[in-house]
Amino acid sequence: MKADLKGMTTHEIEEWAVSQGLTPYRGRQIRHWMLGRLAGSFEEMTSLPKTLRALLIENANISHLENTELLESKDGTRKYLFRLADGNHIESVLIPERDHLTLCISSQAGCAMGCRFCFTAKQGFKRHLTSSEIIDQVAQVKRSLDDPARLTNIVMMGMGEPLHNYYGTLKAVKNLIDQDGMNFSHRKITLSTCGLVPEMEKMGKDMTVNLAVSLNAADDETRTSLMPVNKKFPLETLMSACRKFPLPNRRMITFEYILIGGVNDSDGDATRLSRLLTGLRAKINLIPLNPYPGSPMAPPSEGKILCFQKILLNDNYTAIIRKSKGSDILAACGQLSGGVS
Ligand code: SAH
């Protein structure tokens, strides 16, 4: 089988180059062409000698996801649907912000976490993505842009639980931030988890990207009813992992809290949330629930959402109401299904 060079780390591609009788430098050069200059084929690598390009075509491969559909929302959000080589589908969502673009990428086809409010969970778990499938979402979206430099922020909040696919995610993160990789700033990459505690501890040692935790409830009973993962890692364990998480200066942990009418949106819930986060460098993103087709749950009224926010603001938290973009094309949080409906 031909080697897939796309997802290789610097070290791996250097080793591969040496195994082919090339210098480690050639490996790095090829990597820079793929990840930094977004070359889709060896033919495009014009600084390499022709004989070397021929050798690469013979012995190696640059894998690609197949972009099968592109939908654009009224608000400018774009949803890219990709087909994997084995026929599974994943989605990435490009979100326009005031002065830059943010790309939300997937880490798995489907998801095994089973959160009750999430459409991806409904599809069940298909498989982990390889690091090359994770970073190719970024490469392909960049290639489709008039000004690729505007894409500065990456959020790992698409389909799947990134920490369940720990090594695929770790390798992808390295490829995103390495200078001879895609050269993103680690400050502009955020990994969101439902709270897999052992992997959060590993992440604190292995990665320097931002951490977001999907909290969604401030008591164990409600959280377990929404997120089965809470049975294994209840709030006390999760919050203790958050308190121990090594945060560089001035960084905060983002806590995502979906507001669901009649479930977790009372004044008491807001007060409990405030207490739970006491002493943590925390930023709270309040996300009014995006219902998916057939979902029995609904977001609270506007008034209720503002009341909830006010309680947190009064306690001096940064609490932002995040209206998800792209809901008209099912591109908002919790609505990604890989084209299945
Ligand atoms: N598995 C990771 C990343 C994917 S979910 C995690 O759990 O964090 C990304 C975010 O979308 C999470 O914060 C999740 O709570 C939120 N989300 C899921 N379904 C949603 C829905 N129906 N409406 C609004 N937000 C939702």
Q: Quick: pLDDT tens for 18-45.
A: 999 999 999 999 999 999 999 999 999 9
Of the chain, the percentage scoring pLDDT greater than 70 comes to 99
193 Cα to the center of ligand 1, angstroms = 9
- 339, amino acid identity: G
Reported confidence tier of residue 325, pLDDT bands at 50, 70, 90: confident
Rg of the chain over Cα atoms, rounded to whole angstroms, equals 21
Whether ligand 1 lies within 6 angstroms of the CB of 194 is answered as yes
Residue nearest to atom 3 of ligand 1 (CA): 157
5 Cα to the center of ligand 1, angstroms = 32
Q: Please tell me the predicted confidence (pLDDT) of residue 82.
A: 98
Whether ligand 1 lies within 6 angstroms of the CB of 216 is answered as yes
Give whole-number Cα distances, 94 to 64, 88, 106, 110, 317, in Å: 19, 20, 12, 19, 28
Q: Please tell me the predicted confidence (pLDDT) of residue 77.
A: 94
Which sign, positive or negative, has the C-alpha torsion 292, 297, 303, 306? negative
Give residue-wise pLDDT tens across range 153-190.
999 999 999 999 999 999 999 999 998 899 999 999 99
Whether ligand 1 lies within 6 angstroms of the CB of 334 is answered as yes
Residue with tokens 């409904």: 122
How many Cβ atoms sit within 10 Å of the Cβ of residue 93? Answer: 30
- With a cut of 60, say whether residue 78 has pLDDT above it: yes
- With a cut of 90, say whether residue 292 has pLDDT above it: no
Q: Are 103 and 155 in contact (CB under 8 A)?
A: yes
Measured CA to CA, the distance from residue 60 to residue 169 in angstroms comes to: 23
Q: Which residues are identified as catalytic?
A: 91, 333
Residue nearest to atom 25 of ligand 1 (CA): 333
| Chain centre to alpha carbon of residue 87 | 21
Residue nearest to atom 13 of ligand 1 (CA): 214
Whether ligand 1 lies within 6 angstroms of the CB of 172 is answered as no
SS3 188: helix
Whether ligand 1 lies within 6 angstroms of the CB of 269 is answered as no
Average pLDDT score, the chain: 95
Residue nearest to atom 19 of ligand 1 (CA): 334
Measured CA to CA, the distance from residue 139 to residue 145 in angstroms comes to: 10
Q: Please tell me the predicted confidence (pLDDT) of residue 335.
A: 78
Residue with tokens 């603001």: 313
Give residue-wise pLDDT tens across range 183-216.
999 999 999 999 999 999 999 999 999 999 999 9
Whether ligand 1 lies within 6 angstroms of the CB of 214 is answered as yes
Sheet holding 318-321, edge to edge: 66-72, 78-83, 89-96, 101-104, 151-156, 189-193, 210-214, 253-259, 282-288, 318-321
- With a cut of 90, say whether residue 327 has pLDDT above it: no
* Index of the ligand 1 atom closest to the CA of residue 256: 13
